Chains A and B, each alone.
Chain A
Amino acid sequence: MFKDRACIVGIGETGYCRKPGSGMSEEVLQLKASVAALDDAGLHGREIDGILAFPNLGKSEAFAASLGSENLRFAATIHMGGASPVASLRMAAMAVHSGVANHVLIPGGWNGYSGARVRETVTTDKNSIPGGAIAWDYYMPQGLTVPPQWYGLMCRRHMYEYGTTHQQMGAVAVAMRKHAQLNPGALMCGKPLTLEQYMASPMLADPYRINDCCLETDGGTAFIVTTVERARDLGKTPVYIMGAASGQPYPADEFTTRKDFHQTGLTIAAPEAFQMAGITADDVDFAQIYDCFTFEVIQQLEEAGFCKRGEGGGFVENGGIEIGGRLPVNTSGGLLSEAHSLGLGHIVEAVKQLRGDAGERQIDNAEIGVVTGWGDFGDGSIAILRK
Chain B
Amino acid sequence: MSEYSKPLPGLEGLTKDFYGFCKQESLHFQQCSQCGVFRHVPRETCAECNSFEWEWTKSSGRGTIFSWVVINRALHPAFYDPSPDAVPMAPIVVEMEEGVRLVSNMVDCPPDQLEMGMPVSVVFEAVTDEVTLPRFRRV
Contacts and interface: CB of A to CB of B under 8 A. Distances in A.
B54 interface: no
A138 B9 contact: yes
B69 A137 contact: no
A139 B79 CA distance: 14
A206 B133 CA distance: 24
A58 interface: no
Interface residues of B, number: 37
A65 interface: no
A144 B133 contact: no
A123 B74 CA distance: 13
A159 B105 CA distance: 21
Contact of A156 (B67, B72, B88): B67
A113 to B, nearest CB: 15
Given A138-B103, A157-B66, A257-B101, A143 B41 contact: no
Interface residues of A, number: 35
Interface string A110-147: 00000000010001001000000110111111111110
A256 B10 contact: no
B123 interface: no
Given A144-B91, A156-B67, A206-B69, A119 B9 contact: no
A123 B73 contact: no
Interface in B71-116: 71-76, 79, 88-89, 91, 93, 100-105, 111, 116
Contact of A145 (B72, B75, B104, B133): B75
B50 interface: no
A123 B103 contact: no
28 contacts: A119-B76, A123-B76, A126-B10, A136-B7, A136-B9, A138-B102, A139-B103, A140-B7, A140-B76, A141-B9, A141-B133, A142-B91, A143-B74, A144-B69, A144-B103, A149-B69, A149-B71, A149-B91, A153-B93, A156-B69, A203-B70, A206-B69, A206-B88, A208-B69, A256-B93, A257-B41, A257-B100, A257-B101
User: Which 4 pairs, one residue from A and one from B, show the smallest C-beta to C-beta distance?
Assistant: A152-B69, A206-B70, A140-B7, A137-B9
B91 A256 contact: no
Interface in A191-221: 202-208
A74 B53 CA distance: 41
A153 B72 contact: no
Interface of A: 119, 123, 126, 133-134, 136-146, 148-149, 152-154, 156-157, 160, 202-208, 251, 254, 256-257
Interface string B13-39: 001000000000000000000000001
Contacts of B127: 141
B124 interface: no
Contacts of B70: 203, 205-206
A210 to B, nearest CB: 8
Contacts of A257: 39-41, 100-101
A73 B98 CA distance: 50
Contacts of A138: 9, 15, 41, 102-103
Interface string B128-139: 000101000000
A265 to B, nearest CB: 18
B68 interface: yes
Given A157-B66, A160-B116, A145 B101 contact: no
B102 A256 contact: yes
B73 A204 contact: yes
B126 interface: no
Contacts of A136: 7, 9-10
Given A119-B76, A149-B91, A141 B7 contact: yes
A263 B119 CA distance: 25
